[in-house]
Each structure stands twice: as C-alpha cells, then as structure tokens.
Amino acid sequence: MERDYKPIIKDVISYALIILAVILIRIFIFDPVRVDGPSMDDTLLDGQVLIINKIGYKKSNIKRYDIVVADVCIDGKLDYENCKKERVVKRVIGLPNETIYAKDGKVYVNDKEVDSSFTKGVTEDFTLDGFTKLEGDSYFLMGDNREISLDSRGFGPVKKNQIKGKASIRIWPINKIKVIK
C-alpha cells in the first residue's frame, strides 16, 4: 500500500513559512523590550514590556519627545563599534544641530525651555562637555526621572544608527496596555 506524503509535506512547508514570517517580523519590524530600572518613572515603570517599531524611522523623522530604544556605550568609550553596549529606553529631547543645556532645573533647546510636564525630580544644570551643539546626526536622550537617569548627560549624544526604534505599545502588564505617544 502506497502512502501519500503530500499533505504532510504541505503542512511542514506551511509551518516553516509561518515561523520564517515571525522571525522576519521580529528582526526587521517589531521587537519586544523590557524597561529596566526607574529612569522613565512615572511614564514607564521598571519591568513593563514595550513593543518597538523598528521601521517607523525609516519612513519618518525622529521627533522631540519620542520615546525610543537605543544602544549606547556604557563604558565611556567613544568608539560605538568597539564599546560595551546597553539597550536603554529614553525620551528624545535634543535633535540634530540644536544646542541643549539645563539651567536652574530647566532644560533648554536653542535657548527655549522644553516641556517638562512628564518629568519627575529635579534636573541638575548641565552643558554638553566641550560643545553645546549636537552634530547633524546626533540626538540627546533623557530619562523622565531626571534625578537618577543614566542618559545623554552621562553617555553622550547618540547617533541615528544607535536608535533601534520607537516605543509604540506597552503590552505588559496586561492591565496597562497602551499605545505610547
């Protein structure tokens, strides 16, 4: 008696295509990221899980106040390719070719105070060591919990290629599911 393997092969190919599609979506379009630490309190809390949109910035520009995920050098090296990297969730405050500083607890971009309604804590005064203007492809990121955030004040401005995507949706915990704006 001859056995027909066509339905089995068809099922295996179907499952393989589904798995391939999921892998490609995860690599190129969406990625889950866990918030690690209190630097984005009260906007995002430690342990919450976000979905980042990886292709959004290929179609549109990075905007001030976007919450992004970036790979940054945390070992003090300026060579991004050869440093110890950490993935961080932060808010974009400074855009390319802008000047940024903080004085009397307020953050200024191009000498205009930026919105601080989402922040927690006091922002210590700062200027960008050795320069005040961001380069043409650099962004200044800050955590919303300004007193304890490791952000561009510590690791410096980030290049556009270090930004991996925009936080789009909070998916965990379930009772806090929300589109992030």
Whole-angstrom distance, CA of residue 103 vs CA of residue 167: 29
Which pLDDT tens digits describe the chain residue by residue (181 residues)? 567 777 888 888 888 888 888 888 777 777 888 899 999 998 999 999 998 888 866 666 889 999 999 998 877 666 667 777 888 999 999 999 999 998 888 899 999 999 999 998 888 888 766 557 888 889 999 999 999 998 888 888 899 888 999 998 898 888 888 888 7
59 catalytic per annotation: no
| Marked catalytic residue, from 6, 10, 14, 39 | 39
Burial class (CB in 10 A: 0-12, 13-18, 19+), 164: middle
Give the pLDDT score at 126. Answer: 81
Active-site annotation holds for 160: no
Catalytic residue among 90, 120, 138, 152: 90
Domains identified in the chain and CATH numbers: 31-179 (2.10.109.10)
